[in-house]
Structure 1
Amino acid sequence: MQQPNIPAANTAETRDDLLSADDAARILGVTKQTVSRLIRTGQLPAEKVGSRWVIFAGKLDDYLVENNLVPEPPDHPRRAGVGIPTPAGGSPAINALSFFSGALGLDLGMERAGIYPALYCENDRKCRMTIQAMRPDAALIGDINRYDAAQVLEMAGLEPGTVDVMFGGPPCQAFSTAGAQRAFDDERGNVFLKYLALAADIQPAYLVIENVRGLLSTPFPLVEGGQPQRGGAFRLILRHLEEAGYEASFNLYNAANFGAPQIRERVVLIAKRGGGRVPYLEPTHAPAGECGLPPWRTFREAVEGLDPATLRHTDFPEKRLRYFRMLKGGEYWKNLPDDMQREAMGKAYALSGGKTGFYRRISFDRPCPTLVTSPTMPATDLCHPTEDRPLAVEEYRRVQGFPDDWRICGDVMDAYRQIGNAVPVALGEAIGRAIRADMAGRVADPRFEGFPYSRYKRTSDQTWG
């Protein structure tokens, strides 16, 4: 695995150099006011010279190390002289671009399939630090709206017409069934359209879109007092792709069917330029070993061998632990004694739906439920099967498929958020394998005709509409 190359906090020749608050703010990627607060609270040692605070560069280095940070990277091109790795088997290098890259879950899966991005696009500060720590040689850009196709290619060091794969998972909140589903009336939905516009100009041979199930049903347009069309947002996406010369195949996939020890269902669309449909992803696992495949991987398998002394986690409030202690692995609030259920749930007791995430202890012998950005949110609890605590960051990392030495910059909550938002590495690898197989002209394996990729119906390009 490529080793992290963590840059120094600045280019000073010695670590006794003095930095201004502005310098420190630039290096940390925060405001000057935040630096002032860090100085005032003693988190960042500083000395006053005249009327100004100054920080020793070495002290700033110490702060970065102690807080698991690297200097905030500026947007930068691919490092000169660094080539794109060649896939195993003697295939030529594949030119790829990654957007909405996050902590690089999808990217790691693509790498395992032999597809290495020349450029990452990510606007979140802590995610950018993670990318810089783990993949410093590739290009890194921020706000997708600030770049056109020519600028993206220049930063990636690629010529027009040479991009093989462009992939990413545009922010899903605008399409989530748990939210307002504002689609393209949401700022996050608008970056989806920017992504499609960039693809139309860059013209990759393959374009990948990963998103939540709600993408298939989000109504659009949102006309006040009118009747928006169910699924209208996705129809608009498909129309954009068709106008740009792409044919799309898509399905709703459960990551557990590809070796992830997690029940996580996501829409994956692969569009191919110039006609022709990419076959569905090939499963590697099945719920109970159907089609001659191994059964789904379990949480127990995922976390085997972790050192308990190294685990980092938040804690449940004591008033909630009272109820967790009454539950066994695989149980949730409905397994509490009848007279305790209403007391434990409070106002949530009257909510409709199954409410299966409340007071949920996961099972060792099943895949983990979908990881979320915090394991202590009441409606999406992720409590350890036998211990009275939430899942640890290191368990999160294993469930998503990240290597144990994959550095996630920031504190524990930053790690939960970055890992919880990631695409399972195993699902990313399945996407990469499907593209590589199509490049090689291989056809779909007939064994998987009609395979139940998810628990929902009418979620593929053959059945949706």
Structure 2
Amino acid sequence: MKIFSFFSGSGFLDLGFETNGFEIVFVNEIDPEFMRAYQYSRQQIGMNPPVYGYDNGDINAFLNEETKRNELINNINAVKDSGELVGFIGGPPCPDFSVGGKNRGREGENGKLSLSYINLIIQRQPDFFLFENVKGLWKTKRHRQFYDELKIMLHNAGYKTTEKLVNALEFGVPQDRERILLFGVKSELLDNSRRGGTLVDFPWQSRQIYTMEDINRYDWPEPQDFLEGGERPMPSGIPRELTVQHWFETNHVNTHPNAKHYFTPRAGLPKMQRYQEGDSSKKSYKRLHRWRYSPTAAYGNNEVHLHPYYARRLSVAEVLAIQSLPENFVLPPDMSLTSMFKTIGNGVPYILSSGIARTINDYLLELNVRN
């Protein structure tokens, strides 16, 4: 099963598919630094480049420019002629739908890209697709209308869809991060018993490890006084794998190649020492607790996330761990800190993408057996 990836960033979502039965054959990302990070990280891991290459450009070119349009068509046809399934995956930029973002919706420059992605799916007719975005597109009333219109377009183009608001915590990521996922499959791939209506029966929970009810029942530690370099034993009765400390240790963040990459706030040392370990209640400065999960990995604008027991901001190595990336995933050392933290914050947590990819793989294989 071959994947054409759009809005790829540094490839967190793609990596989940690459390691779970799919081959990424084409990568599209407009930001040159994100694209460079994508290529660099794969070289470090030892993965092969996509057979149809990297495209560092606007997705709209595949809708409007004859040369790019024909090249994409030829590549898709080549995969289909080989008897393999074609999938599109992508998460269009989401600030225009984010609750804490610009809230421009469908009229924003980023908001329009969601329509571009859906139009590309409709024009090029992959066998299946995944659309990922912030929960604001699904939960905010004015944005939900736009989202529902996109689904109607897909249904009219011959797709059955299913959606779920997921939290990365449910899949074992040490981060409270909600996202809306929309999966679609061509009706013609389904047997007659499944072709009625617009919805497809999809096992969203088959790879889910926790429920939010379970997570909220655990006795997570409350904020505690900041101890520079101090130790705290793990409380009993909580899942260690959902704590930032577990992931810091698993990924050996202190010796990771990106360990020294972190911002030094202008406010300096006194302000960073002021916040308790685990005090994430403030809008800007948030200090993580070593024995809790992290708030959403968002490091732009005024978001300043502090290390649990050091008087500094989180390092790139540490936030890659919070995004559940493998230890050998590395960003280019000469990449700007701003680009590093932006691409990490934009990415889909690897363990989440891996769980969804495995679910899609299982589902498509089961369809093939039934047919």
The alignment's TM-score, normalised by the length of structure 2, stands at 0.77
1:381 corresponds to: 304
**In 1, Cα distance between equivalents of 2:30 and 2:147:** 24
Query: Which runs of 5 or more structure 2 residues have no equivalent in the other structure?
Result: 43-47, 64-68, 188-194, 218-237
Alignment of 1:36-435 (within 5 A): 94-133=1-40, 134=42, 136-138=49-51, 139-141=53-55, 142-148=57-63, 150-155=70-75, 158-159=78-79, 162-218=84-140, 231-274=144-187, 275=195, 276-281=200-205, 282-286=207-211, 288=214, 297-304=242-249, 305-307=252-254, 310-318=259-267, 321-332=269-280, 356-374=282-300, 377-378=301-302, 380-409=303-332, 410-435=335-360
The structural deviation recorded for 1:153 is: 3.7
Distance 1:131 1:153 in 2: 24
Local SS of the residue matching 1:284: coil
What amino acid maps onto 2:346 in structure 1?
Answer: N
Distance in structure 2 (CA, Å) of the matches to 1:235 and 1:417: 29
User: Given that residues 88 and 129 in structure 2 are in contact (C-alpha distance below 8 angstroms), is that contact kept between their aligned partners in structure 1?
Assistant: yes
Give the secondary-structure state (helix, strand or coil) at the position aligned to 1:404. Answer: coil
| Secondary structure at 1:103 match in 2 | coil
Superposed CA offset, 1:142-191 (max 9, x none): 21111145422435683457543211101111211123422221222222
Unpaired runs of 5+ residues, structure 1, are 1-93, 220-228, 333-354, 443-465
Q: In structure 2, what is the equivalent of residue 3 of structure 1?
A: none
CA gap of 1:318–1:201, structure 2 versus 1, over 3 A, is closer
One-letter code aligned to 2:71: Q
> Given that residues 12 and 349 in structure 2 are in contact (C-alpha distance below 8 angstroms), is that contact kept between their aligned partners in structure 1?
yes
How far apart in 1 are the matches of 2:30 and 2:164?
28
| Aligned partners of 2:169 and 2:175 also within 8 Å | yes
In structure 2, the residue corresponding to 1:250 is in which secondary structure?
strand
How far is 1:113 from its partner? Answer: 1.5
Structure 1 residue 323: Cα displacement: 3.4
Indicate the residue corresponding to 2:234 in structure 1.
none
In structure 1, C-alpha distance between the alignment counterparts of 2:360 and 2:174, rounded to whole Å: 23
Structure having the larger proportion of residues in helix? 2
TM-score normalised per structure 1: 0.62
Q: Look at both structures and tell me which one has the larger radius of gyration over its CA atoms.
A: 1
Whichever residue aligns with residue 121 of structure 2, its letter is: A
- Specify whether residues 136 and 325 from structure 1 end up closer, same or farther in structure 2 by C-alpha distance, changes over 3 A only: same
CA contact (8 A) 1:400 1:419 kept: yes
Residue aligning to 1:8: none
SS at match of 2:357: helix
Identity %: 27
Q: CA RMSD in A?
A: 2.5
- How many Å apart are 1:132 and its aligned residue? 2.9
